Amino acid sequence: MTTAPLDHGPPAAAVGLDIEIPSCALAIGAHPDDIEFGCGATLAKWAAAGCVVHHLVCTDGSKGTWDPDQDTSELVVTRQREQRAAAKALGATGEVVFLGWVDGELDSGLRQRGQIAYWVRRLRPAVVLGHDPWRRYRLHPDHRHAGFLAVDGVVAARDPHFFPEQNIAHHRPRALLLFEADEPDHVEDVTGFAAHKVEALLAHKSQFASTMGIGPSDGGQERDAFAERIRSRLAEHGSMAGVAEGEAFKAITQL
């Protein structure tokens, strides 16, 4: 569950536009739906251009509900199904990996870092996307930890003496794009891919009430309002770089 999916800070002074579309990308999120909120349109654009897009979700999403009577084991199964449907809506053809850490209890320790390094080495993405762990006043601990795992996991994956017991060749991605950044300095032009992002987000039906403001009796108006909020944010991000619709990131290319 994303507590504040639409919050992003002001752009940095200089904003780059569009990296070379990678042949393979790995998006790392704390919970099911975080990837779609953070970079769904970018992934849809890349997938349409032939990029193999992989999803990696760190936690099981078991606490993603305001209902105290919810069967959390059932919710885990539901959220995995929703995440796979969301990836399909984006056109992703890669793996959807669930690390299965308990929602709200994710840590960015050595064991978890090794898991991320393993998947970076195994999938060999040219670009990794994840939460910006340095975002100020980030409330949800899983988002902080998932962000550090993305960064630290890339560092571990690139160097041969980290986790040699994995017996997988080290791998250095060429770029790391961090979403939800306080000071974004890169925009991906996603003009024409808003509908893909919205469709993928709406695959997360278990999150309608808690995250998207869509009630069980909605006749369509609340869905439309949610979609308009997404499009408005894409327009705001696009304006940073002079394009109609965009997704903003902190880009790290010195890897």
SS3 content of the chain, % helix, strand, coil (to 5): 40, 15, 40
Q: Which CATH code for domain 25-252?
A: 3.40.50.10320
Question: Minimal CA–CA distance to 30: which of 101, 96, 81?
Answer: 101
Structural domain spans, the chain: 25-252
Span 9-49, pLDDT tens digits: 555 568 999 999 999 999 999 999 999 999 999 999 999 99
pLDDT confidence of residue 136: 95
pLDDT at 113 over 50: yes
Structure tokens at 144: 């902080």
Summarised one tens digit per residue, pLDDT across range 145-155 is 999 999 999 99
Name the strands in the sheet holding 52-59, side by side, starting at the edge strand that comes first in the sequence: 16-17, 186-189, 246-252, 175-179, 127-131, 24-29, 52-59, 96-101
Burial class (CB in 10 A: 0-12, 13-18, 19+), 191: middle
Q: Give the residue with greater pLDDT, 1 vs 172.
A: 172
First to last CA, the chain: 30
How many Å apart are CA 247 and CA 157, to the nearest integer?
26
User: Is 236 in contact with 227 (CB distance < 8 Å)?
Assistant: no
44-63, pLDDT tens digit by residue? 999 999 999 999 999 999 99
Is-contact 136 183, C-beta < 8 A? no
Q: What is the DSSP letter of 132?
A: -
Average of per-residue pLDDT across 215-227: 95
Q: Are 154 and 120 in contact (CB under 8 A)?
A: yes
Contact in structure between 164 and 213 (CB atoms under 8 Å): no
pTM: 0.94
Distance CA 240, CA 229 (A): 17
The CB-side HSE value for 243 (13 A sphere, CA atoms) comes to: 21
